[in-house]
Structure 1
Amino acid sequence: MNAEIIAVGSELLLGQIANTNAQFISKQLAEQGINVYYHTVVGDNPERLKNAIQVAKSRAQIIIFTGGLGPTKDDLTKETIANILNCPLKLDEEAMKQIEQFFARIKRNMSENNRKQALVLSGSTVLKNDNGMAPGMATTIDDIIYILLPGPPKEMQPMFTNYAIPYLRKELKLSEKIISRVLRFFGIGESQLETDIQDIIDKQTNPTIAPLAKEGEVTLRITAKHEDEDFALRAIQTVEEDILNRVGEFFYGYDDTSISQELMNRLKENDMTISSAESLTGGGFLQELTSISGASQVVKGGVVCYSNELKELFVNVSKETLETFGAVSEKCAKEMAENIRNQTNSDIGISFTGVAGPNSLEGQPVGKVFVGIATASSTNVHLLHLAGSRKGVRDRAIRYGMYYLLKMLES
């Protein structure tokens, strides 16, 4: 089955918001084995929407709409579809009751145009809106499935997962279980990872392997289809083991985790505390770590010491080190990591110093970065040569620091 997603809203065409709904729906459909060949975006114009629908009907068996179900005049999705399908709209009493209760709860008068939100296609399956007012709807006419969803992601996503997916599975008589597992890697490029496991990818049938590079890391989605869920899981496990035998040193976690979340988990498991001394990253390491719930259990604190003066004053980097080796040096990174650990009485001290750009510093090139990691027993300093923008260098330095910490804690 092929699906097309039509996002309705002039704000999408104007670039005021991104079309994240289509991304979410495509991902969900892929997990059901449904192909998405086209994403269409159309403004709040009935004629252009009609044209988009006619085109979609010629090439898709499932058409999913997002947006245009609200109370205002420019919310015209269901009216346009009702006209094209010759399917009248009717008031859904349950949806109307929910809308009235919402206004009563917030103690505001309901304007008459809000009744429009409770209109649904006659004969359609109403998709309950657990996080808003406008319900969604699904109907099958002339062997084409039409699904209408609200635009706000906080309303659309749970509606699609909880109600639209079960509707699709029932209509399409999908009996196979589709199980996916995402492996996350850092420190290896997408091309190198694919090269290292190319023969495994080439012989894939079921499970399938889908690589994706994103934000300095690489993921592999392994997907298996089978009526027996245990069989699918065993098949995934076999492929995973083959992959990790090749590139396991770069693997750090599963599914929707992040390298910062995994680091937080390992620090908690080991009952260890950490502090940072940051120059080029400007506090970014601690900012990312403390954005995670429970950070107070492991994070002691840190110092942003951008200037040499503050490296001496707050982190006790020796004047001799700065004059002889410079701030962008292994020696400076080592002292920063060791001294911040000692000053804060932490189990681990981490430091970042280097050149983010756009200009060189102390004769050192842009992208040269030192990451120091100090514990009670040893100190290691990692040299990086990073490419990209100033922000890119800083962000990658932070992630490399987290990756090195993870690997140290694992060993």
Structure 2
Amino acid sequence: FKESELVFTIGGLGPTSDDITRDVLAEVLGDPLRFDEEVARWLREFFARRGVPLVESNLRQAWVPSRGRILPNPNGTAPGLLFEATDGTRMAIALPGPPSEFLPMVDRHVVPLLHQWGGGAVIHSRTVRLCGIGESLVEHYVMDLVVSTNPTVAPYAKTGEVHLRVTARAQGQAEAEQLVSAMVQRIAERLGRYIYGYDEDTLEESVVRLLTAQQLRIATAESCTGGMLAARITNVPGSSHVFQGGVVAYSNEAKTRLVGVDEELIRSHGAVSEEVAEALAFEVRARFGTELGVGITGIAGPEGGTPEKPVGLVYIALAHRGGVRVQRNEFLGSRNDVRTRAVLTALVMVREYALEAKAHGEEVMRH
């Protein structure tokens, strides 16, 4: 509070003795707590509807600031609380910890309050989501845009992706949206081929849309990723139109028996090899009768690596009508990092092929 007029806290509003956020804020801001009968009644009804007994400690959540206000929480028992200092110059907003609770409250209560306190100014943001390109290269293409002030452009490196958050401030919603839209268009002119979506879009949603539009069906044979690629694809509603099935072929025996990879190929080149990745992709495509087949094999770690084949080595193959594409990757990070990056890379490979199919039709499928 020494440097800020408004402070946000997340968590510590529960019913247990270690949930002390409300008590601390009340003391620091001099906004004493009072027992709110309306909140208490709501809590009793909440527990009664669920057939769960209400214990006395649950009613701790009915203690609210005297001068501030209550921010309703439709997804949990802890209301959000707004505390106000005696002189009115400092405030605090306390929100419950679970994201499923505080995120809707931010949209419903906090953002309107910020607009109100901001003198009527409107803040509007969009997130441009990119894949298949690194953060440094993205920044190279948009360096002159990153230094702009309204709207601002902020790059964020995510696992296997880069996000550009464009934010504008204006006196009206339409003006703010126009400023953001114009900047997003400038970004698209430079990086359009790498943009898979905006805001809450996911890479797998983009892939499913492209495959559906191009009438391309896909099947997967996964080793080190253990079905994660299939799971990402099938998370998308409507993916049944393009995803025919997947095989988790973790052991060498499974690669041979379930997918049809030749035993001699595995003996000659090793399970983690370009040749086996190709075979996984080719065979799973043939077995499911799809236009595309993906094969993934690698060493996720933390053990199992050698100087020739280190931890993080993953081969990803994409079989199609005209042949196969194979990508050798050496991913850094934990076991989960390696597996996640492998799945994202596979999705990028499928997306790039589908984009080429969209641009060139049957021609790309013969190369």
TM range (shorter): 0.7 to 0.9
Deviations 1:323-356 (A, max 9, x none): 5555444443333212211111223211113444
Report sequence identity in percent.
37
Kindly report which structure 2 residues correspond to 1:347-386, keeping only aligned pairs within 5 A, or say none. 347-357=291-301, 358-360=303-305, 363-386=308-331
Residue 103 (structure 2) pairs with residue 157 (structure 1): yes
Deviations 1:119-170 (A, max 9, x none): 2222322211212233333243321123233334333332333123323332
Which structure 2 segments of 5+ residues have no match? Answer: 357-367
How many pairs align? 353
Corresponding residue for residue 103 of structure 1:
47
Tell me the distance in 1 between the aligned counterparts of 2:60 and 2:333.
50
Residue 122 (structure 2) pairs with residue 177 (structure 1): yes
Q: What is the identity, as a one-letter code, of the residue corresponding to 2:130?
A: F
Corresponding residue for residue 363 of structure 2:
none
Contact kept, 8 Å, 2:29 with 2:84, in 1: the verdict is no
Corresponding residue for residue 64 of structure 1:
8
Tell me the distance in 2 between the aligned counterparts of 1:304 and 1:113.
48
Kindly report which structure 2 residues correspond to 1:7-406, keeping only aligned pairs within 5 A, or say none. 56=1, 58-141=2-85, 142=87, 143-170=89-116, 172-202=117-147, 204-319=148-263, 321-322=265-266, 324-357=268-301, 358-360=303-305, 363-406=308-351
Q: Residues 169 and 140 (structure 1 numbering): CA distance in 2 closer, same or farther, change over 3 Å?
A: farther
The residue matched to 2:40 in structure 1 has which SS? helix
Contact kept, 8 Å, 2:34 with 2:66, in 1: the verdict is yes
Deviations 1:381-409 (A, max 9, x none): 23334344444333222211100101111
Q: What is the identity, as a one-letter code, of the residue corresponding to 1:225?
A: R
Contact kept, 8 Å, 1:68 with 1:151, in 2: the verdict is yes
After TM superposition, the structure 1 stretch with the greater mean CA deviation from structure 2, 69-78 or 255-264, is 69-78
Q: What is the identity, as a one-letter code, of the residue corresponding to 1:403?
A: V
TM-score, normalised to structure 1, is: 0.75
The residue matched to 1:224 in structure 2 has which SS? strand
Deviations 1:259-297 (A, max 9, x none): 223223333344433211223333332233234444434
Q: Residues 201 and 113 (structure 1 numbering): CA distance in 2 closer, same or farther, change over 3 Å?
A: closer
Tell me the distance in 2 between the aligned counterparts of 1:329 and 1:107.
57
Contact kept, 8 Å, 1:138 with 1:164, in 2: the verdict is no
Deviations 1:31-54 (A, max 9, x none): xxxxxxxxxxxxxxxxxxxxxxxx
Q: Residues 106 and 191 (structure 1 numbering): CA distance in 2 closer, same or farther, change over 3 Å?
A: same
After TM superposition, the structure 1 stretch with the greater mean CA deviation from structure 2, 323-332 or 149-158, is 323-332
The residue matched to 1:197 in structure 2 has which SS? helix
**1:252 positional shift:** 1.7
Q: What is the identity, as a one-letter code, of the residue corresponding to 2:125?
A: S
Which structure 1 segments of 5+ residues have no match? Answer: 1-55
Residue 352 (structure 2) pairs with residue 410 (structure 1): no
Contact kept, 8 Å, 2:160 with 2:345, in 1: the verdict is no
Q: Residues 315 and 232 (structure 1 numbering): CA distance in 2 closer, same or farther, change over 3 Å?
A: same
TM-score, normalised to structure 2, is: 0.84
After TM superposition, the structure 1 stretch with the greater mean CA deviation from structure 2, 79-88 or 178-187, is 79-88
Contact kept, 8 Å, 2:67 with 2:84, in 1: the verdict is no
The residue matched to 1:383 in structure 2 has which SS? strand
Contact kept, 8 Å, 1:95 with 1:134, in 2: the verdict is no
Aligned alpha-carbon RMSD (Å): 2.8
After TM superposition, the structure 1 stretch with the greater mean CA deviation from structure 2, 232-241 or 341-350, is 232-241
Contact kept, 8 Å, 1:71 with 1:115, in 2: the verdict is yes
